Structure 1
């Protein structure tokens, strides 16, 4: 297990993250407010779009997490535990918040706790994320009336060791 994922695990057990879990649980019943959060996270991820390597992998995973929560909220994808969605939404809220264990305004270091928490989420829920991506690909193929395209390498789950180690 990489040190980044271990750090994310530590953050996930922190009282500050517990507050984000509670907030996510309350937000889950308010689809409009979740949609606002998802738009804000997507905008924050787009600001990082010029980076490559491990950062780009995390941006892609963050976008997948936004899509997963969005599909759950709209009711189009429900083959996942509600607790996983709450954890994912909490990770997004934590990522969005400027006030967390290491404030985001501190250059580089401020985003490391966010990256660690996303890495932990990816590691813990890799199978569920992979199932969602498969559903997403088959849904897109059904909508267009074509056979599903083979999985693209940039949409496959990165190895945990790749995250933060490029």
Structure 2
């Protein structure tokens, strides 16, 4: 049986994911649209966060990805390749989308493909994520004296409207 990261690698090469990559490239230069997506993904992941263990850890890392993209969009953190950010936004768009290889309304299996893709991203870009986490710790502490994660801005429209059809 293959690991989640291996399943995610297969998903990352799927034609459906290429649609999310193209969409991510388009919205990366539109901070408000990215902020909407980040807020919705964070809310969706928070709903699933109640389970501990491996999936709980994976969700924590996915929330780190949300913060990484937000820091990139705001200009606070730029020590990362733009292609990595595009891939990260594409993963987040995939997670948010109700239309993917295994629809989210199917219990357990519906989120397995999402978790697989997150796992692939985290495995592939582990070094960059670790550098961001270290930056996040030091910059949050040095800026305020207290460590805190940046908040995702409030939304007024659903990000699903941003997912396609334009």
Give the TM-score of the pair, scaled to structure 2: 0.85
Which residue number in structure 2 is paired with residue 123 of structure 1? 123
Distance across 2 between alignment mates of 1:115 and 1:50:
15
Aligned to 1:16: 16
The 3-state SS of whatever aligns with 1:19 is helix
CA distance in 2 between counterparts of 1:48 and 1:102 reads 17
Q: CA RMSD in A?
A: 1.5
Following TM superposition, by how much is the alpha carbon of 1:55 offset from its aligned partner in structure 2, in angstroms? 1.4
CA distance in 1 between partners of 2:26 and 2:69 (Å): 14
Corresponding residue number in structure 1 for 2:99: 99
Aligned residue-pair number: 147
1:145 positional shift: 3.9
Q: Which residue of 1 aligns with 2:67?
A: 67
Q: Kindly report which structure 2 residues correspond to 1:11-90, keeping only aligned pairs within 5 A, or say none.
A: 11-90=11-90
Question: 1:144, CA displacement in angstroms?
Answer: 2.5
Structure 1, unpaired ranges of 5+: 149-166
Distance 2:58 2:5 in 1: 13
TM-score (norm 1): 0.85
Q: Quick one: distance in 2 between partners of 1:80 and 1:52?
A: 29
Q: Secondary structure of the residue that 1:76 maps to in structure 2?
A: coil
Question: Structure 2 stretches of 5 or more lacking a match?
Answer: 148-166
Distance, in Å, in 2 between the alignment partners of 1:143 and 1:122 is 27
Deviation string 1:52-109 (CA, Å, 9 cap, x unpaired) is 1011111101110000000000000000000000000000000000110111111111
Instruction: State the distance in 1 between where 2:70 and 2:144 align.
Output: 20
- Paired with 2:145 and 2:30, the residues of 1 have a C-alpha distance of 33
What SS does structure 1 have at the residue aligned with 2:127? helix
